[in-house]
Amino acid sequence: MTIPPEVKRSLSHTVKFRSNEIELLSSFISLNASNSSSALIIHGYKSVGKTFTVENYLTYLGVRNSIIRCDECVTNRVLLQRCFNKIKSDSGKNNNNNNDQIDKLKFGKSLESFYNFANALEKFIENSNYTDHHVLVLDRFDQCMESTNDLFIAFLRLREISKLDNLSIIFIISTDIPKEIVTSTIPTIYFKPYTEIQITEILQSSQSCLFGIEEIDNNPSSYEFWKQYAKIVVDLFFSYTGSDLNLLMDIIIKIWDKFIEPVIEGKYNVNEFVKVYRQGSELFTNENVINNSLIREYSTLQEEKPTTNGNVEDLPIHSKFILIASYLASFVEQKDDLHKFSKVKAVKYKKRVFSHKPNTKNDIDSRLLSPGFFDLERMFAILSVIYRNTAPSLNQQTEINLENDVAQIEEKKDIERAKFTLSRNTDLYSQVATLFSLGLISKSAASDILGARVRWKCNISWQTAEALCKEVDFPILDYLADEP
């Protein structure tokens, strides 16, 4: 039994470009349970109208159905519970809302496993004499927060393990069909992505953005304006969005308000689309349209300006030096430490010449490689050296006082500086912990933070490090660059 042709016609009016799929649907799911397939997979790329088509089809068909949004289910247990409750409430047989206690006794307390679920459902249908055909739609079944592959098989076998014969299940998925069920013979309907022309037509068919001024909105040229606008957006962004309608819609809404400003202000007429477009053309080339990360200040609604250095500006000076030291520890090889950080100039620095192997790791600028792990102690050692050498507080001008012997003070100061180390007090450790919690440095694996095996890694980019060094006046290139 299929749906009458006039219904089909109005359906195809609502759901555009999916008549083939609707045909297929109607052959697998009908009003009569015995004529319907027990399970059906709808498969296709995201935002190609899978759920929309199925929902509309079921409504036009007039069959009882329950739609579960699986991507909103945290675990399989929640998924099963929602299925059961939804079927119960959608069946129309559940008149007595208040005696859940009785239900619990009847159907089991909680739906811990699929077996319990099947059992409870069976009991419910038996008790309530529910014989109508019921369609359970598991939307985005593959996007549940727990893996659903096992559940997939279980649902497919529902009719085998229970006496349920009036339930059809439609799975809507956008990824590949899992390998567990790839061999079973379940009918699958594939939804093709829309073409550019189709997308344009769908968007043009209904005006989703209005001017907000009645005069203009009632003007038929407003619709024309919209059509041209939708076309432009699709033309410009189709290569990026593909057939993803949601993304396109988002872009359309995002640009609209600014785009129509000249019309609202009365600068141009609604008919003059090209002029409006010419004025607002840079709106379409703005990077923020695509990356969607634009944030506005709440009080002023000012857009945030991009900055180059990450989250390091307001750190205390020691933390900045720790970051630099960790950067150096990550990007300078340990074997070069003595050469780069110690005063001992006698260390022979042999740069091996790899004439036969032109491209080894050593020939690449270390900044281009991923950061290496280092021991905390090594970083502290580097920190001591670089802090001693460049810290503003340790390299201040000496007070010129005639009473004191300047040379003597300088000498004393040098000795003191040589002994100075930041790692004496607990502040250093608390700062390392802070930097770790800010994600600026990271450690290997989730091991004990005090353990000897923990190795650390710098987590900032070269740009950030560079900006940081500029701020504290630290010549980082002296330490990074290879000497000939």
Closest CA to 131 of 241, 261, 32: 32
**Segment interacting with other proteins (CB under 8 A) among 58-66, 170-178, 270-278, 370-378:** 370-378
Closest CA to 167 of 142, 187, 137: 137
| Residue closer to other proteins (CB basis): 120 or 232 | 120
Does residue 63 contact residue 2 with C-beta atoms inside 8 Å? no
Q: Using the rule CB under 8 A, which residue among 44, 49, 262, 310 binds other proteins?
A: 310
Does residue 58 contact residue 135 with C-beta atoms inside 8 Å? yes
Q: Using the rule CB under 8 A, which residue among 103, 135, 141, 167 binds other proteins?
A: 103
| Residue closer to other proteins (CB basis): 98 or 239 | 98
**Segment interacting with other proteins (CB under 8 A) among 81-89, 127-135, 160-168, 339-347:** 81-89
Footprint on residues 158-217 left by other proteins (CB under 8 A) = none
How would DSSP label each residue in 332-382?
A: S-GGGHHHHHSS------PPPP-SS----GGGS-GGGSPPPPB-HHHHHHH
145 forms part of the interface with other proteins (CB under 8 A): yes
Query: Amino acid identity of 260?
Result: I
User: Min. distance of Cβ 95 from other proteins in angstroms?
Assistant: 15
Would you say the C-alpha torsion 124, 126, 130, 136 has a positive or negative sign?
Answer: positive
Does residue 296 contact residue 304 with C-beta atoms inside 8 Å? yes
3-class secondary-structure state, position 63: coil
Q: Using the rule CB under 8 A, which residue among 9, 367, 412, 470 binds other proteins?
A: 412
- Count of all residues that appear for the chain in the document: 484
Q: Using the rule CB under 8 A, which residue among 218, 307, 360, 370 binds other proteins?
A: 307
Token couple for 420 = 């100075």
Footprint on residues 423-482 left by other proteins (CB under 8 A) = 423-431, 434, 437-439, 450-453
228 forms part of the interface with other proteins (CB under 8 A): no
293 forms part of the interface with other proteins (CB under 8 A): yes
Query: Amino acid identity of 453?
Result: R
411 forms part of the interface with other proteins (CB under 8 A): no
User: Min. distance of Cβ 422 from other proteins in angstroms?
Assistant: 8
User: Min. distance of Cβ 13 from other proteins in angstroms?
Assistant: 25
Alpha-carbon distance of 86 to 78, in angstroms, equals 12
Alpha-carbon distance of 154 to 407, in angstroms, equals 86
Q: What are phi and psi of 458, to 5 degrees?
A: -80, 145
Binding track over 312-341 against other proteins, x by CB under 8 A: xxxxxxxx----------------------
Query: Amino acid identity of 431?
Result: Q
Alpha-carbon distance of 250 to 81, in angstroms, equals 33
Q: Using the rule CB under 8 A, which residue among 214, 265, 297, 403 binds other proteins?
A: 297
| Residue closer to other proteins (CB basis): 282 or 399 | 399
Q: Using the rule CB under 8 A, which residue among 126, 132, 333, 377 binds other proteins?
A: 377
**Segment interacting with other proteins (CB under 8 A) among 23-31, 101-109, 151-159, 181-189:** 101-109
364 forms part of the interface with other proteins (CB under 8 A): no
403 forms part of the interface with other proteins (CB under 8 A): no
Footprint on residues 35-74 left by other proteins (CB under 8 A) = 69, 71-72, 74
Alpha-carbon distance of 170 to 210, in angstroms, equals 36
Does residue 292 contact residue 250 with C-beta atoms inside 8 Å? yes
**Sheet strand arrangement including 134-139:** 64-69, 134-139, 167-173, 39-44, 188-191
User: Min. distance of Cβ 483 from other proteins in angstroms?
Assistant: 24
- Total residues at the site for other proteins (CB under 8 A)? 83
| Residue closer to other proteins (CB basis): 79 or 476 | 79
CA atoms within 13 A on the CB side of 88: 22
Alpha-carbon distance of 57 to 42, in angstroms, equals 13
Q: Using the rule CB under 8 A, which residue among 253, 264, 274, 338 binds other proteins?
A: 253
User: Min. distance of Cβ 434 from other proteins in angstroms?
Assistant: 6
User: Min. distance of Cβ 428 from other proteins in angstroms?
Assistant: 8
| Residue closer to other proteins (CB basis): 134 or 378 | 378
